[in-house]
Amino acid sequence: MILKILGTGCANCRKLEANVREAVKEMGLDAEVKKVENIKDIMSYGVMGTPALVKDEKVLFAGRVPNVDAIKKYIAE
């Protein structure tokens, strides 16, 4: 599983990355977490707001920072 955090490095982007890493750790997943900070790359996903989370090239959500438990539900789907 590849999880990508889309964002330019703002505080919310860093918080989302921390929450995603914690969710992966708590779930015991073998997942690769990557940051995507290039604007052109972010735009290629069609998101209108950052941060956003992408799982295996599918955008799960954008424009907010869910808590760890909510992220676990998104990842599990």
pLDDT for 59 equals: 97
Active site residues: 10, 13
pLDDT for 77 equals: 85
| Residue 21 lies in domain | 2-76
Distant-in-sequence, close-in-space partners of 39: CB < 8 Å, separation ≥ 6:
8
| d(C-alpha 38, C-alpha 22), whole Å | 24
Q: What is the pTM of this model?
A: 0.92
Flag residues of the chain having pLDDT under 50.
none
Residue type, 60: L
CATH classification at residue 49: 3.40.30.10
3-state secondary structure of 44: coil
Domain count, the chain: 1
pLDDT for 9 equals: 87
Question: Which position has the token pair 């969710």?
Answer: 23
